[in-house]
Chains A and B, each alone.
Chain A
Amino acid sequence: MHDDNLMLCHCMEVTKATVQEAIDSGTSTFSELVDKTKASTGCGSCAIYLHEMLGEKVEWTAVKVVKSFFIANDVKSFQLVASDKSHKFPKHQPGHYIFVKAKIKGVWVSRPYAISSTREETAYREIIVKRKPGGQFTEWLFNQKTPVKLLISDPQGSKTFNIEDESRPIICFTGGVGITPVISACRSISNEKINNHNLHIDYSTAEHTDISLRTTTEFQKITRKNDGFSFNLRNTDVIGNIKFRDIKNIALRAHSRTLYYISGPVQYELHVQKGLLKAGVKSHNIYPLSSKHLVDKTTKKHNPIDEQGKFKPYFYVGSILFICFLIQDFFNLKIPALETLQLQEYYKRWTGYALLAYFTFQWSYPLVRLARENKHFIGYQKLHKMWGAFAPAVFYVHSTHFGYAYLSVLSITYLVNFFLPLCNKDNFQSLFENQVIYKTWLGTHVFLSVFVTSLMFYHVYIAFSYS
């Protein structure tokens, strides 16, 4: 993985360099990365590399398959138990998936699979695998005799079911093998006896095979046990794909606080999302598990800040400090003791060093990115943003004034370079969907940072020269 031209995703012919470029331009989540580069939208075997490049740590646990059975001609359920019998699997949320890794002909191969066991189950993990004709991993797995030794990762993914909030009914639209996380959600709600939970499952499947029969049987059993549960099987071979009017009919009968989860092939998920938006469902109530999240055009128009209409905490911190700094300078609200202190050579020198150290720390983030060491860079990015918000306060300790001659240029550039990144895509999401705006913003921030740094070092030279 050292060569940038290495083909990362063979299905979609995406190189490592393309993925890296997307990360460099600000893509920070797995789903965004998949959406932008199309990597991992084929067989999904490169997903693990995308996660590693995003700096998401992957812990592996040795497991063996203790039980497996066919639930359709080409679909098999696997029960995985840790090789270390004392090991307890961490709890997961329905919608989480794990990577399963095996050494096939001397090469490690890994694939992602959604977890279908209940979220409270810590003794074993259950996954449902569909055989892919000619597929390297599934063909190998299906031909092994138990116990098969494998490695599995901890639960991954950020798109999970919110089954905690009983006041919010859930409607699941699911298609094909996308039923797996829905099974986990359904079993979890039923097993944990979350009272009064309303769950409706609309399951589309192309072939009326054993998988749907087994699932139907299990769902019907659960439905009988729980008053709020309902289930609809849609045989697409007979009645065709789900129509917008079918979706509308379901949405019209639903409570306004209903959460809509969609799990299935990408095209299916996008189709259902469009149908729901057309039926007037708000985009923040819709959760596609693997496709891009579509935003309601009207919502976007009226709320350009972001979907929730909220700024990030560091935006408030930075803005308040910035306004306070401007007010104190404009109205000459100075603290005499601080003004006297700021005339002292030793004070100027040491607060200057502190300011320089603060600015150097801010540089550690782009240096980490430049070194292409993406591990933990998301954490670095958060620190970079939060620390950046305190720029006016750090400056105020060193000087309460904008200064004179070249110092006024330095101060103004410093504060512009603080305020510009505060207005970033976290806070003005829709504005930054325009790539030209994003690139101009990024280029300007980099340019100003380099310029301010150079002037800062020049200032150190001048301060020592004219003492």
Chain B
Amino acid sequence: MTAKAFGYFMGLSLSLGTVFLLLEQDFESWHSSGDLNPGHEELECRECHITSEGTVRQQIQANVKYYLDQRKTENDFVFNKINNKHCIACHDREDDHHPTYRFNEPRFKKVRELIHPELCISCHQEHSARRVSQFKPTDCKLCHKELHIEDDSITVPHHELIERDDWETCLGCHDFHGNHEMELEKTVGRQIKFNKIQDYFNSAPFPYSGKLIHKAKESIYEK
């Protein structure tokens, strides 16, 4: 056997072995594109990646038809595409301060085009090992720059903070989704500093209290 033939033989053998091994359920975590986000570490891949309808052959056939304009909808290939429903299945609650559906209102059209706040994954990209993968303090400005509060009770009124373009202070007092037990700070300067918030976005514990108002389900199958 020549060196080349040996190379082809070994290459094909190892490739087949590796592919078959990776397709085994025990090795599905090898398909991950990165570490899971804080709180999700114990989740199985199949909690979010749910097998799509039909066999692979049928899925390919349906998608070919879709591209040939013989079908109206695309069919997800192997696993369903991730969307808000997958997140809401565990994280849904009634008093969310910024629920995604709110951003579907017509007045948020421009904001939707800019940062897509109507999608969970715009801020919470999975497999990034962070709580919040994408956020800039000036994102608040996109909706709140016209804010006017009568009888403003904080030491530096909100409109003055807006005039100063000081958007880093927002999250120091206001929890975006409002799921943490906390008292509103009224003295500007004593709010949580933005670097602490950023640490929390990365993976540090919440800087006020560890108490959550609503606890997310531990599995999509939990009732």
Contact = CB atoms under 8 A, between A and B. Distances in A.
B7 A446 contact: yes
Interface string B65-93: 00000000000111101100000000000
A406 B7 contact: no
A450 B6 CA distance: 11
Tell me if B's interface is mostly helix, strand, loop or mixed: helix
Contact of B6 (A21, A25, A443): A443
A450 B77 contact: no
Interface string B1-19: 0111011101110111011
Nearest to A369: B4
B32 interface: yes
Given A447-B10, A467-B77, A462 B31 contact: yes
B31 A440 contact: no
B31 A405 contact: yes
A407 B33 contact: yes
Interface string A1-30: 000000000000000000001001100000
Interface string A393-406: 00000000001111
Interface string A248-276: 00000000000000000000000000000
A168 to B, nearest CB: 41
Contacts of A346: none
Contact of A406 (B22, B34, B81): B22
B49 interface: yes
B120 to A, nearest CB: 15
A443 B3 contact: yes
A146 interface: no
Nearest to B27: A406
Nearest to A438: B3
B128 to A, nearest CB: 10
B29 interface: yes
B221 interface: no
A454 B14 CA distance: 10
A445 B8 CA distance: 10
B34 A450 contact: no
A466 B79 contact: yes
How many B residues are at the interface, by size bracket? 20 to 34
A401 to B, nearest CB: 9
Given A443-B6, A465-B78, A450 B12 contact: yes
A456 to B, nearest CB: 10
A117 B30 CA distance: 71
B81 A467 contact: yes
B15 A455 contact: yes
A405 B32 CA distance: 6
A442 B32 contact: no
Given A449-B11, A454-B15, A464-B77, A404 B22 contact: no
Nearest to A449: B11
A443 B4 contact: yes
A439 interface: yes
A451 B13 CA distance: 9
A446 B4 contact: yes
A140 to B, nearest CB: 41
Most central of B16, B33, B81 by chain A CB within 10 Å: B33
Nearest to B128: A343
Contact of A447 (B7, B19, B33): B7
Nearest to A24: B4
Contact of A440 (B3, B8, B19, B32): B3
A454 B16 CA distance: 8
A455 B78 contact: no
A464 B31 CA distance: 12
Interface of A: 21, 24-25, 343, 403-407, 438-440, 442-451, 453-455, 458, 461-462, 464-467
* A-B complex: 9 closest residue pairs judged by Cβ atoms: A450-B11, A446-B7, A454-B15, A465-B78, A439-B3, A443-B3, A443-B7, A447-B7, A447-B11
14 contacts: A404-B32, A442-B4, A447-B8, A447-B11, A449-B11, A451-B11, A451-B18, A454-B18, A454-B19, A458-B18, A464-B77, A465-B77, A465-B79, A467-B76
Given A404-B34, A439-B3, 17 more contacts: A403-B33, A404-B35, A405-B31, A439-B2, A443-B10, A446-B11, A448-B11, A449-B11, A450-B12, A450-B15, A451-B11, A451-B15, A454-B11, A461-B78, A464-B77, A466-B31, A467-B77
